Amino acid sequence: LNFVCLSNDGVDDHMVWLIGLKNIFARQLPNMPKEYIVRLVMDRSHKSVMVIRRNHVVGGITYRPYVNQKFGEIAFCAITADEQVKGYGTRLMNHLKQFARDEDGLTHFLTYADNNAVGYFIKQGFTKEIHLDKDRWQGYIKDYDGGVLMECKIDPKLPYTD
């Protein structure tokens, strides 16, 4: 099992994985327009952390790091249907936190969580209370009706992965 963090950098293998991830999002997030998913997953200002098993994508998280604001916005998060509730989602989030802190210098994540995924995000340390100063994120993340805004603080020192 492998966890990678990459963006659309033109490398063939990376393209194949990003397309696989896009397909998982399209299936698991049926309320999201497919063109919107493709656009963000392929957008070079977004990054994706993916779970790779035997060279196939099992799931991932696409996020946009706002490096100057030190927070990241999680756009999409999903694990393929037959691999859910096996712990991959938790390990994925831990790798995301580690990458975002160590590579992008981020201190927080924000996301609009689907109502049915709020329980998952709470287990990953997210809260519905937003502690981050509004002037650090207002105007950066797009308002989105179909979900609840949630926040997670990234611990500055904790080893999230082994």
Two structure tokens written together for 25 = 């999002």
**Residues catalogued as catalytic:** 73
Residue bearing tokens 């033109």: 10
Q: How far is CA 7 from the centre of its chain?
A: 12
Nearer to ligand ACO, 10 or 30 (CB): 30
- Taking CB under 6 A as the criterion, the residue among 63, 99, 120, 126 binding ligand ACO is 120
Minimum distance of ligand ACO from residue 46's CB (angstroms):
13
Distance CA(96)–CA(59), nearest Å, equals 12
CB of 141 to ligand ACO, least distance (A): 11
Task: Read off the amino acid at residue 20.
Answer: G
Residue 77: beta bridge partners? 61
Which of 11, 33, 56, 87 is in the footprint of ligand ACO by CB under 6 A?
87
Binding to ligand ACO (CB under 6 A): which residues in 13-52? 28-29
Would you count residue 141 as binding ligand ACO (CB under 6 A)? no
Residue 150 lies near ligand ACO (rule: CB under 6 A): no
Q: d(Cα 45, Cα 65) in Å, to the nearest integer?
A: 8
